[in-house]
């Protein structure tokens, strides 16, 4: 996905931030070219996370299904939000490395060496997610 096209608090509920993304490559539950809007609790944007998404930043985010209030958040917090850098490379944070190493399904597809190097190709991770989704 390209980064947030817009991130704003709601006039109806100032405790909610709406983020609109343009989907460059629909993987699971979204279509390529689609624009999606998610709602996050304002508290996720406080402190060090005040700039969670930047316009035109490329990210791969795994979101929980929306709650009954329509709110969502990345799966495993920041570990579920991958920043895509130049060359379509995802530079893994320590939290993401740990989460991937714990994942039985992903660990069979990615080697420990790939994960601990801290870089994974976007296409490789996207393909793995598609394979896992097809198995479910």
Instruction: Give ∠ CA 131-55-23 in degrees, rounded to 5.
Output: 30
pLDDT at 132 over 90: no
**Which of 32-41, 67-76, 94-103, 109-118 has the lowest average pLDDT?**
109-118
pLDDT at 51: 67
Q: Read off the DSSP letter of residue 90.
A: E
pLDDT in tens, 24-74: 999 888 899 999 999 988 877 776 555 678 888 899 998 999 999 899 998
Containing H/E element for 39?
strand 35-41
pTM of the model: 0.79
* Nearest C-alpha neighbor of 29 from the set 65, 83, 78, 79: 65
pLDDT digits (tens, 9 = 90+) for 9-18: 555 566 888 8
Cα 124 from chain centre:
15
Cα 124 from Cα 126, distance rounded (Å): 5
């Amino acid at each position: 996905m390209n980064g947030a096209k817009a991130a704003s608090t709601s006039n109806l509920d100032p405790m909610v931030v709406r983020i609109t993304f343009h989907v460059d490559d629909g993987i699971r539950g979204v279509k390529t070219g689609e624009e999606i809007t998610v709602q996050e609790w304002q508290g996720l944007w406080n402190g060090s996370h005040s700039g969670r998404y930047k316009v035109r930043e490329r990210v791969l985010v795994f979101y929980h299904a929306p709650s009954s209030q329509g709110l969502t958040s990345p799966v495993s917090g920041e570990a579920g939000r991958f920043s895509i850098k130049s060359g379509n490379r995802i530079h893994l944070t320590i939290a993401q490395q740990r989460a991937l190493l714990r994942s039985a399904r992903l660990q069979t597809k990615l080697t420990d060496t790939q994960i601990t190097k801290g870089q994974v190709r976007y296409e490789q991770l996207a393909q793995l997610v598609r394979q896992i989704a097809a198995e479910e």
